[in-house]
Amino acid sequence: MNPGSNSIDLTGKAVSSGIGIGPVTIINTKSTTVRPDKIDPDEVKTHLQKLRDSRNLLLSEYEILRDESHLQSAKDILEAQIQTLKDPEVKKRVQYKIESERLSVGYAIFSTLNEYIQLLESSGVQWANDRAVDIVAIRDEWIDVVSENRREFSMSKGDVIFAEEIPPALMVKISRIKVAAIVMEKGGDTSHAVILSQSLGIPCVINTHWNRYQVKEGMLVIVDGLDGHVIINPDDQQLTKYKKRREQDLSRVKESLKWAKKEHLTKCGKPYFLRANVEFLEELPKIATHGAKGIGLLRTETVLFETTEFDVKEQVEFYSNVLKTTEQESVTIRLFDAGGDKLINDKNSEANPFLGWRGVRMLLDEPQLLKKQLEALYRVSEDYKGRLKILVPMVSRLEEIRALKKVAKEVRAELKAKNVKFDPSIPIGIMVEVPSVVMMANKIAEYVDFFSIGTNDLTQYTLAVDRGNEKISALFDSYHPAIWRMIKMTKEAADNHNIPISVCGEMASKPEAAACLMGMGINDLSMNTSAIPNVKAVLCSHTMKELIELSDRVLEEDELKGIHNLFSKWKIKD
């Protein structure tokens, strides 16, 4: 295309808009050196845990790679690597070296695999010699993963991160630096890294494949998070063009931020509430700048993972921080919702985690965890009366609500016995994300204080589409007529029993969908803070009559295509 320049043009799937320009930083390619350091007896447990975690992490990455690979040879190599990770003898020996020889996990892996490598190399058989190379590769990669906690990635503000995939824990680290953009080889639309980059407004392109010999650290790169272009070594013309677009984007964001200051009222004066979905303290400042009314969904998985054994004091500190920052507004705190796509350090990996042991199912099985979290929430409530709400995830049966309320009652009794003051009337509501709850909504509404619809999971469970599966990602569409009807059913049930209802899924962050929800009478929406100004702009500039007209027409449609047509026409009109 452009023989005179040595720019490389890659394309991927755009998942978080904006233009990012900066130097390339490649993550996860350097191998770490390990030394035969002895560890203290009290470190053994941590090292064994690291061994399990690193093994599980690599296994899941390799299994995905294997399943996605079309080349049989690649599949075979990956299968062999997977078997190496699963090798019971390797596991036994590494564990022995940690437990009895007190070697660090990194060195234990290194020396165990080296024994095999030497045997293969000295076998005198060519194929065995060749395979030794693969074991070296996995050894290095495994050690890299194990050392990740200690190793600081050298990335700085303004860098463009290139990675195969970014595990949630690393993404958290990245979120603390203002990187210019993220380019990933893998990842799904709703993977942790993608959700976080949207929330932080970092341009992000996924499913991008690059040649590791061509793309080097420090090369200048342009990332277009709107159409998925990644240009390495751009020429001056391209640079000028994209810099200009970046300016325009920024001024558009600034423009839409003006809406953030406006009252939460439709054009005809009907009030609504746009709240923030929040997971990290780093996101809190955006609540004010983007005009959110408190927090509609506070995720607690990351913070609980960071505490030592879900320590109540550490939790109280986090919740107080959040409540302090949000002034007088309400904060809905979702109970620990690990499982599914979340990083869970559990030895039993499930074949189908999304249909597995997660949310309230797990909480009721782990009363210590649940009680600690409830205790922390009740303890915080005294200073912030009337502002907290407890949201229970992944409910699928009425019995779970009863059981959970019983535990809450026990926690309250224990606190009372200890003379701890708290707000006894914190509302307890549930996530509506499993179709069984929608079907039972009219009954369930008698037992809960509010509903919050999680549209991502509701879509996945209703349409039978795994949202992490790239092959069928096109089938994952929250605008499906069935979803709109389910939302309506839930809304009617909430109205019958006079309980509040909100939507906290990704759907609420799309201006046209938010308009439709508002038309359906749901005026409490929670979303990534970066989406709030745009949604607000649409809601502020329309009357209820227009919004109701839109939702009526959407609810009449029987096919997805019709709904998409309606929305695109509606957007143009706007």
Partner 1 sequence: MVRKKVVVKNESGLHARPASVLVKVASGFESEFTIKMYGYHVNGKSILGVMTLAAEFGSEMELILEGSDEEKALDTIVELFESKFKEEN
Q: Which residues bind partner 1 (CB under 8 A)?
A: 76, 79-80, 83-84, 86-90, 113, 116, 119-120, 123-125, 127-128, 131, 134-135
Give least dist CB 119 to partner 1, A.
Answer: 4
Cα–Cα dist 395/412, whole Å: 22
Please enumerate in sequence order all residues whose Cβ is within 8 A of that of 486, keeping only pairs 6 or more positions apart, or say none: 435, 438, 458, 462
Give least dist CB 99 to partner 1, A.
Answer: 19
Instruction: Return the number of the residue (86 or 252) whose C-beta is nearest partner 1.
Output: 86
Give least dist CB 346 to partner 1, A.
Answer: 21
Give least dist CB 116 to partner 1, A.
Answer: 4
Please check whether residue 393 is in contact with residue 360, taking contact to mean a CB–CB distance below 8 angstroms.
yes
Instruction: Return the number of the residue (78 or 547) whose C-beta is nearest partner 1.
Output: 78
Backbone φ and ψ for 375, nearest 5 degrees, come out as -60, -45
Give least dist CB 70 to partner 1, A.
Answer: 18
Q: Is 276 helix (H, G, I), strand (E, B) or coil?
A: strand
Residue with tokens 């559990």: 346
Give least dist CB 138 to partner 1, A.
Answer: 10
Instruction: Return the number of the residue (4 or 88) whose C-beta is nearest partner 1.
Output: 88
Provide the greatest CA pair distance for the chain.
84
Other beta carbons within 10 Å of 277: 25
Cα–Cα dist 239/425, whole Å: 58
Instruction: Return the number of the residue (82 or 441) whose C-beta is nearest partner 1.
Output: 82
User: Rounded to an integer, what is the distance from CA 517 to the centroid of its chain?
Assistant: 23
DSSP conformation class of 180: S
Instruction: Return the number of the residue (138 or 431) whose C-beta is nearest partner 1.
Output: 138
Residue with tokens 């998925």: 228
Please enumerate in sequence order all residues whose Cβ is within 8 A of that of 388, keeping only pairs 6 or more positions apart, or say none: 319, 323, 330, 331, 333, 377, 380, 381, 423, 426
Other beta carbons within 10 Å of 231: 20
Cα–Cα dist 161/89, whole Å: 37
Instruction: Return the number of the residue (41 or 88) whose C-beta is nearest partner 1.
Output: 88
Give least dist CB 29 to partner 1, A.
Answer: 25
Instruction: Return the number of the residue (116 or 384) whose C-beta is nearest partner 1.
Output: 116
Give least dist CB 517 to partner 1, A.
Answer: 49
Compute the Cα dihedral for 535, 538, 539, 541 and give only its sign: positive
Cα–Cα dist 573/14, whole Å: 25
Instruction: Return the number of the residue (72 or 368) whose C-beta is nearest partner 1.
Output: 72
Q: Is 423 helix (H, G, I), strand (E, B) or coil?
A: coil
Give least dist CB 90 to partner 1, A.
Answer: 6
Cα–Cα dist 21/467, whole Å: 30
Instruction: Return the number of the residue (82 or 206) whose C-beta is nearest partner 1.
Output: 82
Burial of 305 (0-12, 13-18, 19+ CB in 10 A): middle
Give least dist CB 130 to partner 1, A.
Answer: 8
DSSP conformation class of 152: P
Q: Which of 261, 289, 386, 380 is nearest to 330 (CA)?
A: 386
Give least dist CB 86 to partner 1, A.
Answer: 8
Q: What DSSP line would sit under 452-490, residue for residue?
A: EE-HHHHHHHHHT--TT-GGGGGG--TT-HHHHHHHHHH
Give least dist CB 68 to partner 1, A.
Answer: 19
Provide the token pair at 48: 């064994």
Instruction: Return the number of the residue (80 or 364) whose C-beta is nearest partner 1.
Output: 80
Instruction: Return the number of the residue (94 or 304) whose C-beta is nearest partner 1.
Output: 94
Instruction: Return the number of the residue (351 or 417) whose C-beta is nearest partner 1.
Output: 351
